[in-house]
Amino acid sequence: MLLKNEEAISASLESLIRDKYQVYKLFVSNHKKTSRTTNGNYRSVFKGRGMDFDEVREYKEGDDVRLVDWRVTARQGSTFTKVYREEKERHVYFMLDLRSSMRFATKQAFKSVIAAHITALLAWSFEDKGDKIGGLLLSDKEMQSFRPSGLQRSLMRFFNEISLKTSEKNVLKPIEQEISLQAACWKLRHFCKSGNIVFFISDFSDLTEDTLKCFASFAKSNEVILINVYDELEGTCPPPNIYSVTNGDETLALNMRSQQLQKAYVNYFKKRYDTLKDFSTRYGIHYIPVSTAMNYIDVVANALRRKSK
């Protein structure tokens, strides 16, 4: 088990800090810090820092064959390769959804806790490579923004707010004037310009066409990753019965005896899942579905996999 029972409903600051050592364990050889002036020990599925074209020169042993300029090679009669200059500063943004719908699970830990740890693992991995971390935390009543910073104390403040928000009491009754995913997306769009990596980590429970338009707008000038955190019960309707749902203080009865309701229940999740998957394929966006039952460390490891030798 990745998380202890007491860590299943909230993400403590200490546990988010411990994720730093999971990153070292997974990606850094001999537990040495990755050099901030090299490409590191692993290859990310994400594009990474922007690259500006610099020049074309003759091919040298060890150059990446994928960068061979075949037009110049054909014209000159010998192999030439493109050389790019790496941008030295990159911003990585996280829009982390910690609203009431995320405080639910039947396996391992709440969706909000899994999302918090995925955010921490990714943030530590990018911080180790010298990137600036910023983002937006979304709760039921507010949106809290964090300007990109390379300072570790800023990252600690970000993690501390994540911890506090995952510790907020869950409520079973509908939230009035809930902050929408759509509003959060457009707010982040205002201060996240271009050339960045942007993670949206949510269950996307209130996905709308306007939200998808915002994702598409981001994708025109940024690398966008949608991480869909869900619980297996959301995609598979439980057997017909009356179920008790509790937050520890309140209890509600959920009547799942209606076949019509069961069908609507399954279709609601499937439609959202398929919409995100198809949309991501169409716009060249990374789509990563994550069940609360999964090993979320493996999910991050697959996203930031080692170079193949």
**For residue 38, is pLDDT > 60?**
no
**For residue 121, is pLDDT > 90?**
yes
Mean pLDDT on 85-91 = 63
Residues forming a β-bridge with 290: 229
Mean pLDDT on 87-94 = 78
**For residue 88, is pLDDT > 70?**
no
54-74 pLDDT per residue, tens: 577 887 776 777 788 888 888
pLDDT band at 190 (very low <50, low <70, confident <90, very high): confident
- Cβ atoms of 129 and 123 within 8 Å: the answer is no
208-225 pLDDT per residue, tens: 999 999 999 999 889 999
Domain 5-29+89-303 has CATH 3.40.50.410: yes
Instruction: Determine how many CB atoms are found less than 10 A away from the CB of residue 255.
Output: 10
The per-residue b/e assignment along 28-43, b for 16 or more CB within 10 angstroms, e otherwise, is beeeeebeeeeebebe
**For residue 84, is pLDDT > 90?**
no
- Pair of tokens at residue 20: 């730093």
Q: Kindly tell me the burial class for residue 4, based on how many C-beta atoms sit within 10 Å of its own C-beta (0-12, 13-18, 19 or more).
A: exposed
pLDDT band at 39 (very low <50, low <70, confident <90, very high): very low
Mean pLDDT on 167-171 = 74
What is this structure's pTM?
0.78
**For residue 48, is pLDDT > 70?**
no
Q: Domains of the chain: which residue ranges? A: 5-29+89-303, 51-86
- Amino acid 44: pLDDT: 59
The per-residue b/e assignment along 73-87, b for 16 or more CB within 10 angstroms, e otherwise, is beeeeeebbbeeeee
